[in-house]
Amino acid sequence: MKPVLVESIDAIAFAPFGSIVAHAGGDDRDYLPLDLTAGEDLRARNWTMRLAGHPGDGLVVSTLERHPASTQAFVTLGGDGLLAVVAPTAADGGPDASGLRAFRVPPGSGVIYHRDTWHHGMVALGRGSDVFIVMGLRADGRDTVWAELSTPVPVTGLMGN
């Protein structure tokens, strides 16, 4: 499969997959489009974690995940930013690897994936990033659906634009 080149994130390009988290400026609150209310027994969970920086300038994507009951937010708290790798849904309900896209999320911002958006696990760029994560989790653990791609997709250009 042809390599996917990392692109700078912008609201229009990312809209099919989710929203960008960044303060719009001013003194008003910027409310975020998090939806943690779908399904039974869904509870909002928040956590922080440190993601080690990804070594090198390439990544091979072979597995994607989605969360059918909740949106999911990742916001950088420090570090060199994140790489959000997403894909549309194919007619059979699995990920459409031919539409895979990779977005560079700058430090001090983040993303909110729409419910049911196919995505790769979050990747920290450079020396790594501390992240704040919000999503709805079910008590029974039915939060994540996994899919293996029939052909892994290389992603290039992690280190610059």
Reduced 3-state DSSP string for the chain:
CCCEECEECCHHHHCCCEEEECCCCCCCCCCCCCCCCCCCCEEEEEEEEEEEECCCCEEEEEEEEECCCCCEEEEEEEECCEEEEEECECCCCCECHHHCEEEEECCCCEEEECCCCEECCCEECCCEEEEEEEEEEECCCCCCEEEEEEEEEEEECCCCC
Structure token pair of residue 54: 């990804």
Give percent above pLDDT 70 in the chain: 96
pLDDT the model gives residue 25 = 76
Distance, CA of 66 to CA of 4 (rounded, Å) = 20
Gap between the Cα atoms of 83 and 14, Å rounded: 12
Compare 1 and 66 and report the one with higher pLDDT.
66
Give the mean pLDDT of the chain.
90
Is residue 7 predicted with pLDDT exceeding 60? yes
pLDDT reading at 33 higher than 80: no
pLDDT confidence band for 32 (50 / 70 / 90): confident
> Who has greater pLDDT, 41 or 149?
149
Token pair of 135 as six digits = 């999503």
Reported as a single tens digit per residue, the pLDDT across 65-121 is 999 888 899 999 989 999 999 999 999 999 999 999 999 999 999 999 999 999 999
Say what the pLDDT of residue 44 is: 81
- Tell me the pTM: 0.92
